[in-house]
């Protein structure tokens, strides 16, 4: 199950009102464009930060349902915050059993079918809600914001807002945010024609629920009877590894880059793989690079699953996999621009 980030979207009604006020004015021709752009940038960023803070600070229990590419999946979520400490528990309700715990940047995934526990460190906030990747003011250069009134989701009154992309390189979002503090309770990803590609929402939600961090920490540490894996990720930069983009993709900035060393038990020919992550503040794209192996990498392909697009390409002796919640056109720009220093 893919837990979609509710977290990269936020809205405050005062910010919307400020935007509408600016749009309604008729200032001098010299200042109209710059004043409106500045107000829109502040409004979007204020909204994003309001949701970001709410996703961290609210304590809640809820059932979270994702509908993507004709497939529906769900999970039960417990979230608690105590001071600077963040704690989550996610139990999948469909598909293979999974119990996922996140304490700050530590993520522990229990896979009972395999008696396996994966213990890893992640810079981002994890499954739900994944923290805002970027609050760069340039978000307003690529999205505009539009109010669509008020609705009710899982018993919660919510403001409804659409983030509309200004170009064809990114999808749009329709977002329902709880009125009091801004927690996102429903999210739709929209294609360039405004059609729903994917939807994620709470079907039930208990705010300010009695969730105890010490109890979740105790559950997170019960690994007896499980084989524990600790994947090794080494932080690096693409340039150090010899990779670069011949031309930037508008709005997308490199966020992080990791390499995964080859396992000690792997064949001598095996090499480490690389993941290079980009974001425009809302959408993200990951480039995975590994040595090409004939027995595994036989044909280039592209695939769509809801909002998630995937593309594979051969690049000299390397095999490149591109994954992102962006139009396929955007992935092609990344694929065509990726190059390696000889």
Tell me, yes or no, whether 80 lies in a domain: yes
Per-residue pLDDT, 137: 53
Query: 83 with 197, same domain?
Result: yes
Among 23-37, 42-56, 170-184, 201-215, the least confident range: 23-37
Pull the structure tokens for residue 153. 């989701």
Domain endpoint, select from 220, 252, 285:
220
User: Number of helices and strands (H, E) in the chain?
Assistant: 5, 21
| Residue at 308 is within a domain | yes
Tell me if 225 is assigned to some domain. no
- pLDDT for 8 equals 31
Q: What angle do CA 212, 213, 217 make, to 5 degrees?
A: 125
130 versus 321: which is more confidently predicted? 321
Taken in order 160, 163, 164, 170, is the CA torsion positive or negative? negative
> In terms of domains, do 174 and 274 share one?
no
Full residue range of the structural domain in which residue 184 is found: 13-220
| DSSP-derived 3-state class of residue 54 | helix
- pLDDT by residue (tens digit) across 219-271? 999 999 999 999 888 999 999 999 999 999 999 999 999 998 765 444 444 46
287 in the same domain as 216: no
pLDDT at 293 > cutoff 80: yes
Last residue of one domain, picked from the residues 190, 220, 250: 220
Mean pLDDT (the chain) is: 81
**Domains in the chain: how many in total?**
2
Same-domain pairing of 211 and 272: no
Least confident among 119-123, 143-147, 264-268: 264-268
Considering the domain architecture, whether residues 19 and 41 belong to the same structural domain is answered as yes
Does one domain contain both 204 and 291?
no
What is the DSSP secondary structure assignment for residue 112, as one 8-state letter?
G
Region 77-89 average pLDDT: 92
Q: Which residue has the tokens 């699953």?
A: 305
Last residue of a domain, one of 177, 194, 220: 220
Q: Provide the token pair at 181.
A: 């503090």
């Amino acid at each position: 199950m893919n837990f979609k980030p509710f977290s990269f979207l936020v809205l405050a009604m005062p910010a919307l009102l400020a935007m509408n006020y600016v749009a309604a004015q008729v200032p001098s021709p010299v200042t109209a464009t710059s004043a409106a752009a500045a107000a829109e940038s502040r409004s979007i960023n204020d909204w994003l930060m309001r949701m970001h803070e709410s996703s961290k600070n609210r304590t809640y229990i809820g059932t979270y349902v994702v509908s993507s590419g004709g497939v529906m999946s769900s999970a039960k979520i417990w979230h608690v915050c105590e001071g600077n400490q963040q704690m989550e528990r996610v139990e999948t309700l469909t598909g293979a059993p999974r119990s996922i715990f996140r304490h700050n940047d530590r993520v522990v995934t229990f896979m009972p079918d395999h008696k396996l526990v994966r213990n890893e460190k992640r810079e981002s906030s994890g499954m739900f809600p994944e923290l805002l990747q970027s609050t760069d003011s340039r978000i307003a250069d690529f999205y505009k914001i539009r109010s669509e009134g008020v609705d009710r989701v899982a018993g919660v009154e919510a403001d409804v807002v659409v983030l509309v992309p200004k170009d064809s390189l990114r999808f749009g979002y329709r977002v329902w945010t709880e009125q009091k503090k801004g927690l996102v309770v429903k999210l739709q990803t929209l294609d360039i024609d405004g059609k729903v590609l994917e939807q994620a929402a709470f079907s039930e939600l208990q705010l300010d629920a009695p969730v105890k961090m010490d109890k979740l920490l105790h559950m997170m540490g019960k690994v007896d009877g499980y084989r524990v894996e600790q994947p090794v990720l080494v932080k690096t930069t693409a340039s150090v590894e010899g990779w670069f983009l011949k031309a930037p993709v508008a709005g997308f900035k490199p966020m992080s880059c990791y390499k995964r060393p080859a396992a000690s038990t792997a064949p001598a020919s095996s090499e480490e793989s690389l993941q290079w992550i980009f974001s425009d503040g809302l959408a993200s794209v990951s480039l995975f690079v590994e040595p090409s192996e004939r027995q595994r990498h036989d044909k280039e392909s592209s695939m769509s699953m809801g909002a998630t697009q995937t593309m594979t390409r051969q690049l000299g002796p390397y095999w490149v996999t591109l994954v992102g919640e962006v139009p396929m056109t955007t992935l092609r720009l990344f694929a065509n621009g990726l190059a390696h220093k000889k």
